[in-house]
A and B are shown apart, each in its own frame.
Chain A
Amino acid sequence: MKLLELLRRLSVPYIARHRLRTAVTLFGVALGVAAMTALRLAYEPISRSYQIAVKRLAGRSSIQISNGEIGVPEELLDEVRRVPGVDVAAASVRGYVRLPNHPGERLYVLGVDMLDDQQVRDYGDEGVAKMSAPPAAPAEKPAAGSPAASAAGAQGAPASGSGKLLEVEDPLVFLAKADSVALSPEFLRENHLEVGDTIEVQGSSGRATLRIRGTLDSRRGVGSLFGGRLALMDIFAAEKLFHLDHRFSQIDVVVKPRADIERVAEAIAQVAKGRGVVQAQEASFQAAKALLEIEESNTTFEAFGAMVVGLYLIFNTMLIAVSQRRREIGILRSLGMRRWGVVKLILVEAGALGALGCAVGVAFGIGLARVMSLPFVFRLAETRIPVAPAKIVVDVGTLVLAAATGIVGALVAAAIPAYEASKVHPLEALRPYARPGELTQTADQGERYWTAAATGLALAVGSFVLWLEGRRLIGEYRAALVAMAGFLVGISLMVPLMVRAFARLAEPVLRRSGIALAALANRALLSHMGRTAITTTVFVMCFSFVTEVGAAYATLSKTFDRWFNALFADTDLIVSAGAATLHPTTTGLPDELAEQIAGLAGVSGASALRLAKVNFNGYLVDLVAMDARAQNLDLVDGDRAVVASELSSGKGVAIDERLAYNFGLHAGQVLMLASPRGTVSAPIVAVVHHSENFRDMGAVVLDRRVYRSVWGDRTVDLIEVRLKPGADAGSVMKEIRTRWGDKYELFITTVGRFKQQTRREVERDLAEVPPILAIALAIAVMAVVSSLLAAVLDRIRELAVMRAVGATRRQITALIVLEALIIGLGGAFLAAGIGVAFGYYQFAILSRSLNGVALVYSQPLRVIVLASAAALMLPALAAYLPARQVARLEVSAALASE
Chain B
Amino acid sequence: MIRIEKLCKVYGSGPTAIHALKDVSLEVRRGEFLVLMGPSGSGKSTLLHLLAGLEAPTSGEIYLDEMPITKMSDDQMTVFRRRHIGFVFQFFNLLPTLSAEENVALPLLLDGQSMKSARPKAVSMLERVGLGRRLNHRPDELSGGEAQRVAIARALVFEPSLLIADEPTGNLDSRNGEEVLSVIRDLARQFGVTVVMATHDPRAAEYGDRIARLRDGELVEEGTIPVERKAVR
Contacts and interface: CB of A to CB of B under 8 A. Distances in A.
B47 to A, nearest CB: 11
Contact of A804 (B90, B93, B116, B147): B93
B81 interface: yes
B96 to A, nearest CB: 4
B45 A896 contact: yes
Given A436-B139, A804-B93, A891-B55, A810 B110 contact: no
B168 to A, nearest CB: 13
B154 A809 contact: no
A435 B55 contact: no
Interface residues of A, number: 36
Contacts of B74: 808-809
Contacts of A797: 93
A797 B109 CA distance: 19
Contacts of B58: none
A343 B94 CA distance: 31
B107 interface: yes
A687 interface: no
B93 A435 contact: no
B97 A523 contact: yes
A516 B109 contact: yes
B95 A811 contact: no
A519 B140 contact: no
Interface string B37-63: 000000001000100101100000000
A808 B75 contact: yes
A892 B54 contact: yes
Nearest to A803: B78
B111 to A, nearest CB: 7
B231 interface: no
Contacts of A895: 49, 54, 89, 93
A512 B144 CA distance: 30
A527 interface: yes
B111 A806 contact: yes
A369 B144 CA distance: 62
A330 B158 CA distance: 38
B107 A806 contact: yes
Contact of B95 (A511, A802, A810): A802
A527 B106 contact: no
Nearest to B142: A435
A797 B141 CA distance: 20
Interface in B91-141: 91-98, 106-107, 109-111, 113-116, 118, 138-141
A810 B110 CA distance: 11
Best-surrounded residue of B106, B113, B147 (most CB of chain A within 10 A) = B106
B110 A527 contact: no
Contacts of B111: 806
A892 B55 contact: yes
A526 interface: yes
A266 interface: no
A513 to B, nearest CB: 9
B97 A435 contact: no
Contacts of B154: 805
B22 interface: no
Q: Among A514, A527, A797, A803, which residue has the most Cβ atoms of chain B within 10 A?
A: A514
Contacts of A363: none
Nearest to A804: B87
Given A801-B93, A804-B93, A805-B82, A435 B110 contact: no
A299 B191 CA distance: 72
Contacts of B75: 808-810
A805 B110 contact: yes
Contacts of A896: 45
A39 B1 CA distance: 75
A511 B154 CA distance: 19
A890 B53 CA distance: 12
11 contacts: A435-B91, A516-B118, A517-B109, A524-B97, A804-B89, A806-B81, A806-B82, A807-B78, A890-B55, A892-B49, A892-B54
Given A435-B92, A806-B110, 5 more contacts: A436-B140, A520-B97, A804-B93, A805-B106, A809-B75
Interface of A: 433, 435-438, 442, 511-512, 514, 516-517, 519-520, 523-524, 526-527, 797-798, 801-811, 890-892, 895-896, 898
Q: 6 shortest A-B CB distances, which residue pairs?
A: A806-B82, A437-B140, A516-B109, A436-B96, A514-B114, A527-B97
